Amino acid sequence: MRNQNLLIAFIGIMVFFSACDHTKKKPVENKETTIELPAFNNDSAYRFVKMQTDFGPRILGSDAHANCQAWLIQKLQQYCDTVYNQNFTAKTYDGKQWPCANLIGSFRPEKTKRIVLAAHWDSRPFADHDPNPNNRETPIDGANDGASGVGVLLEIARQLHENQPNVGVDIVFFDAEDYGPKESDHIPGDWWGLGAQYWAKNPHIQGYTANYGILLDMVGTPNAQFMQEQFSLRDAESIVRKVWSTAYQLGHGQYFQNKPGGVITDDHYYVNKYAPFKMIDIIHYDAASGTGFDPVWHTTNDNIKNIDRNTLGVVGTTLLQVLKNE
């Protein structure tokens, strides 16, 4: 994923809000209360992250990509009621074409009320932000950028297998998210989130829709700060408030910050653009890093050593409680 021009986009969104709604909006409730945390095993989620990185960089066309795909399908089949392997061909910014697959695991397929939980499972083919210029053509493990969200969702799937949700839940792993051009290439076009673009235009079930969706990206940073991403606020403010309020009620206010975050072109942006429902993005935001992301973003340091079990658990328990509240 990439940041937009933060200043221009932020001003544009604020103008949008001002033109559409002159009423004062109630902020997300900051009061934290102590309630019983939903079942979520931080160590299990961490193992799911590590198992992905153990395959190696999951770049398009690689053995690691193919082997991880087979493993993810096996895990979804183990936990979910129904599994879909949505094959498609992605054309990337460099003119190459790649066989890709979005992987979908569904719970309670008979339910009409449905929640989508999503993450991307591919990793970046080059570490173009690495501080060492000699590493900038090296594929990355993508432990945080990709695998962390998948790891959390696999653990959620494991928990839902034991305790079926009251609503339909669709876990979607998007492919071909992170093969976008380097910033220095200045190539126009929608070259990010290719799997999400394909799924939003061609859902795994004809006529598919959901009540809302939640995307996870970079949710393994130690002491992460999940601020409220601006496209999420623009397109689905009520869902942002639902999730952040739930996190506060669980005592996770240190992580889920009631502050505006970046303007980020992630998979949710394309779902909101093309699908008949809205999705928000839970993503670590670091205003001091220079990129708005974790300092290891798109570097060779995005590896399992920089994944924090507690952060995975904060996100996982929050999502399970959101589902429970439905």
Please count the CA atoms within 13 angstroms of the CA of 200 that sit on its side-chain side: 21
What is residue 33's predicted lDDT score, i.e. its pLDDT?
53
CATH topology of domain 2-325: Aminopeptidase (3.40.630)
At 195, list the tokens: 């799997």
Residue extents of the structural domains in the chain: 2-325
108: three-class secondary structure by DSSP: coil
DSSP 30-82: ------PPPP--HHHHHHHHHHHHHT----TTSHHHHHHHHHHHHHHHHH-SE
Q: What is the rounded CA–CA span in Å between residue 282 and residue 44?
A: 20
Amino acid letter for position 205: I
The CA radius of gyration of the chain, in Å to the nearest whole number, is 18
Determine which helix (DSSP H) or strand (DSSP E) holds 14, and give its type and residue range. helix 6-20
pTM for the predicted model, two decimal places: 0.91
Task: Please give the pLDDT value at position 18.
Answer: 38
Backbone torsions φ then ψ of 258, nearest 5 degrees: -85, 65
Residues with pLDDT less than 70, the chain: 1-35
Predicted pLDDT of residue 184: 84
Separation CA 280–CA 310 (nearest Å): 22
For residues 176 and 99, the answer to whether their CB atoms sit within 8 Å is: no
